[in-house]
Structure 1
Amino acid sequence: MDSNKSKILSTEPLDASEARWTGLIKTTYIDPNGVKRTWEHARRPTRPAGSKIDGVGIVAILRNRPGQGSDEPTILLQKQFRPPTTRICIEHPAGLIDPNETPEECALRELKEETGYVGEVIGDGAGFVMFNDPGFCDTNLQMVHIQVDMSLPTNQNPTPQLEDNEFIECFEVPLKDLYTECLRLEKEGYGIDARVGTMAEGLELARRWAVFK
């Protein structure tokens, strides 16, 4: 599988009757000065009833790799061609939540399906709700932190269970090098997903300003 073989053949307006994953909305509202205004935006029509989120992002940290003298944490990332950007993007594993599924259950399921790895949720589970692009759409998610124990037999030869329209390449980056790796990958022509980039920026700010001593 080589994502570099993907290419755009054409683009055209999408009729609303054909849309499965996106809806266009016009919202009328009153601004702080009492002026009536409208806002054009997109929405995701797939959020399950009763769920407060559309999906999850997965911060997967790999530890305890057999045969290595150190246990430096690495973060699991993905390369995936995204037609809206016309390029391969660097992303966290992620996915849409199923009905009656918790964010933690969704994250563990999606991690297994997309990467083949079996992990465990660390910390307090899912974090705060994040809106991906609030000026453009209502899509949101929660990030779930997962640790993958590479010494477990189940993680020795991971086998993803991808759908026929998913073409995902997984790779690892030392967590401490995430910012510099994002810069390098962007120079090579990859698109950096905002969640990956924001995490990298946060790590770099913490390093630069010695937040954690």
Structure 2
Amino acid sequence: MNSLEEKTLHSKEIFSGKIITVELQDVKLPNGKQAKREIVKHPGAVAVIALTNENRIVMVEQYRKALEKIIVEIPAGKLEKGEEPASCARRELEEETGYVCESLEPLLSFYTSPGFADEIVHVFLAKGLTKKENPAAMDEDEFVNLKELTLEEAIQYVKEQKIYDAKTIYGVQYLQLQEALTTK
């Protein structure tokens, strides 16, 4: 056993929902003692930094119940069982925004909250956008407003906490860095 590894002794599912399950685990710590861990299991997700031909960032505005507020985000969604991240990214982009893309570049993947959850988000850059006449329908419990922001507007939204989630802030910072590198 690695000097930092925790060995799972027992695991019990204590909740199973539409999106997540929660497990209560008994673990053996590196010092030999035992502890309990509450682990959120998530199938993973994608997020799409989508740029129009006019270099505007395609975003969605939606109410987030966990925050009790409306925020602006890059299109994103949960992976379906067995779904490849790139396929999910294309699906979510179309469902949430009505856009399809010519190119989809994987940028990186990150864990959202590794202290208690295994959710991983795969981030993509979508370009060559075309608005589809009859896009795939959104989930029946999903309501969004489409927004297309300049990079400067997105930076202001971050300052005003209208953009307030990690994946979207990452997207804005990624575009800022790309702009800085191309103007050198």
TM-score by structure 1 length? 0.66
d(CA) in 2 for partners of 1:94 and 1:76?
A: 11
SS of structure 2 residue aligned to 1:192? coil
The answer for the alignment partner of 2:96 in structure 1 is 114
Name the aligned partner's letter for residue 197 of structure 1. I
Distance 1:127 1:181, change over 3 A: same
Gaps of 5+ in 1: 1-14, 48-53, 64-70
Name the aligned partner's letter for residue 106 of structure 1. C
TM-score by structure 2 length? 0.75
Cα displacement string for residues 24-58 of structure 1 (whole angstroms, at most 9, x for unaligned residues): 222333444444322223223xx3xxxxxx22111
d(CA) in 2 for partners of 1:84 and 1:99?
A: 24
After superposing on structure 2, the runs of 4+ consecutive aligned residues of structure 1 that deviate more than 4 Å are 156-160, 201-204
Match for residue 27 of structure 1 among 25, 29, 33: 25
The answer for the alignment partner of 1:10 in structure 2 is none
TM-aligned CA deviation for residue 143 of structure 1: 0.7
Distance 1:109 1:203, change over 3 A: closer
Q: How many residues align?
A: 169
SS of structure 1 residue aligned to 2:100? coil
Question: Higher strand share goes to which structure?
Answer: 2
Alignment pair present for 1:105 and 2:87: yes
d(CA) in 1 for partners of 2:119 and 2:35?
A: 22
The answer for the alignment partner of 1:149 in structure 2 is 129
Q: Indicate the percent of aligned positions where both proteins have the same amino acid.
A: 25
Gaps of 5+ in 2: 1-13
Structure 1 range deviating more: 30-39 or 132-141: 30-39
- 2:47–2:76 contact (8 Å) kept in structure 1: yes
Aligned ranges 1:1-213 → 2 under 5 Å: 16=15, 19-44=17-42, 47=43, 54-63=44-53, 71=54, 73-122=55-104, 125-149=105-129, 155=131, 161-184=137-160, 186=161, 190=162, 192-201=164-173, 206=177, 213=184
d(CA) in 2 for partners of 1:110 and 1:27?
A: 33
TM-aligned CA deviation for residue 198 of structure 1: 2.9
d(CA) in 2 for partners of 1:37 and 1:94?
A: 35
TM-aligned CA deviation for residue 171 of structure 1: 0.3
